[in-house]
Structure 1
Amino acid sequence: MNRAVEHLNDAVLDPHLAAIIRKGIGSEVVANAGFYRPGTWRYHYLPRGGGLPDLSQDGLPKPFEGALASPGAEKAAGTLSTASFCTILRNGLAHGGILYLDKDGQTTRSAPVQMFCFVSTKQSQQNGIEGLHFLRVRMKDYRAFLQIWTNWLQASATPSKVPTQLAAAK
């Protein structure tokens, strides 16, 4: 989104693909994005209010388990902007903000992992952390998302625009 610093700006490797990605990850609702599948994602926002839960010690609090299981959470996920959706996912992955949940969407130490919940903070320069974003998906749906995402990127790239150093690496 044009925020890359010069030494990390890989958009110069393929300006055509960078333009497609900027267009695809904009302010449109994510439900309209080619890489989004309705019914697979759940979203909940927790304003800071009186404090934030200690997710690393306590896992996903019970009230949020219910909130993420509600039909409203499915609708809320689809109404996120694609930029917000991708930012929450990116921040959860980059900063280790991932909760591993069982088949019921609960944090347990003994049950197999069936869902991921990506957690990202909402921050402002004036107030610091304002709240937490929770984006939940079943493991099988996340795997499908990764394939859809890859297909979307591949379909967006044109072979003639692939830089020679990347083509040689294949």
Structure 2
Amino acid sequence: MEKLMGTPSRYGLEVPERCLQLIHALWGEAERAYVRGQEALGPLTTTFLLGMATPIITLPIERVERHRGKEDIAYLNERPLDEWVANEVDRVLVKGRLGQAAFFEEGQWRFAAIPYRGENLAMQFPNELREALSNDDALAAAANLPASQWSSCLRNALAHGGVLYLDRDGYHEHGQRAETLAFLSARYPKYSMEEYADCAPLHGKRDTSKPPEQLMVLSISERGLLCFLERWVGWLGQSGLAQRLAA
């Protein structure tokens, strides 16, 4: 008889826990999986971790934090399921800084930003950005980031494919063993009153029809990402996102 998966009562809150359980159960298998002919580059743990990290990170952001103030028009909104949960997510992700969050661990996340000069990061990783990330200032910059900016950068990178593998020295080189993940995002100029005077709702919003003004990158090692996911899901549980399911 076919076994059916239990349907989550809160998809955006329970699926991250299930994904973490899959990491625990299948990590040993991932350590034994290699790209055929490229065994020297190491196992597919980075790929596996990234695949599991995407729903673990994005689902709570998309279904709880992103609908703040939009409850009446959001069609996949889990905020009404628990007001206490919504308030806790707002307190941490909207109003706090990354370094203040329970899921933050010192020395793991790095953040850097440079002006955009036409680079295509699918083809080259700017040395200026690599050097900025390798500096200890990048650790302090990440800790001081508004948590809302951190979650937005991370969510955008995962949702839009803005992820690069970096080697131990911070280079994005084909054929090198990946040890760090870089999550890329961009800051676009705002619509101007002069150009769009006839469309008031656009004013103050980002104009993605123009080139970005700034490139931003968050980076974390593979081992650091695994530790973060443990802390992130643990925070979700402590916040009541998982524990209140039985209430």
Instruction: State the shift of 1:52 in Å.
Output: 3.0
**Matched residue SS, 2:131:** helix
Structure 2 length as normaliser, TM-score?
A: 0.60
Q: Conserved in 2, the CA contact under 8 Å of 1:93 and 1:118? A: yes
Query: What is the CA RMSD across the aligned residues, in angstroms?
Result: 2.0
- Give TM-score, length-normalised by structure 1: 0.86
- Mapped contact 2:185–2:215 kept (Cα < 8 A): yes
Match of 1:89 among 154, 171, 174: 154
- SS of equivalent to 1:6: coil
User: Identical aligned pairs, as a percentage?
Assistant: 27
Query: Does structure 1 conserve the Cα–Cα contact (< 8 Å) formed by 2:113 and 2:129?
Result: no
> Which structure 1 residue ranges, 4+ long, deviate > 4 Å from structure 2?
none
Which residue is 1:54 aligned to?
120
Q: Deviations over 1:67-92 (max 9, x none)?
A: 10001111111110111111111111
Give the AA of the match of 2:85.
L
Instruction: Tell me the equivalent position of 2:191.
Output: 126
1:156 maps onto 2:236 in alignment? no
Counterpart position of 2:93: 25
Matching residue of 1:68: 133
* Change in CA separation of 1:123 and 1:28 when aligned onto 2, cut-off 3 Å: same
Aligned counterparts of 1:97 and 1:13: Cα–Cα separation in 2: 31
CA distance in 1, matches of 2:243, 2:154: 30
Shift of 1:46: 1.5
Please tell me whether the aligned partners of residues 93 and 151 of structure 2 are also in contact (alpha carbons under 8 angstroms): yes
Instruction: Specify which structure has the bigger relative contact order, considering alpha-carbon pairs within 8 angstroms and separated by 6 or more residues.
Output: 1
In the TM superposition, residue 13 of structure 1 has moved relative to its aligned partner by: 2.5
For residues 77-119 of structure 1, the C-alpha deviation after alignment (integer angstroms, 9 at most, x for no partner) is 1110111111111111111101111111110111121100101
**Structure 2 match to 1:140:** 223
Uncovered stretches (5+) of structure 2, i.e. residues with no partner: 1-64, 193-206
Partner Cα distance (2:85, 2:218) in 1: 26
* Structure 1: gaps (5+ residues): 165-170
SS at match of 1:56: coil
Is the strand fraction higher in 1 or 2? 1
